Amino acid sequence: MASNPYAISQDVASAVRLFLGELYYNTNKGMPYFQQILGKSSPQAIMKSQAEKAALTVPEVVQAKCTSLSVSSSKTLSGVIEVIDVNGTAQNVTF
Domains of the chain, earliest start first? 6-94 (3.10.450.40)
Q: 6-58 pLDDT, tens per residue?
A: 999 999 999 999 999 999 999 999 999 888 887 777 788 999 999 999 999 99
Straight-line distance from the first to the last Cα atom of the chain, in angstroms, rounded to the nearest whole number: 20
Distance CA 55, CA 60 (A): 10
Q: What pLDDT does residue 72 have?
A: 82
Contact status, residue 48 vs residue 69, Cβ threshold 8 Å: yes
- Distance of alpha carbon 8 from the chain centroid: 12
Distance CA 87, CA 95 (A): 22
- Distance of alpha carbon 38 from the chain centroid: 15
The pTM assigned to this predicted structure is 0.88
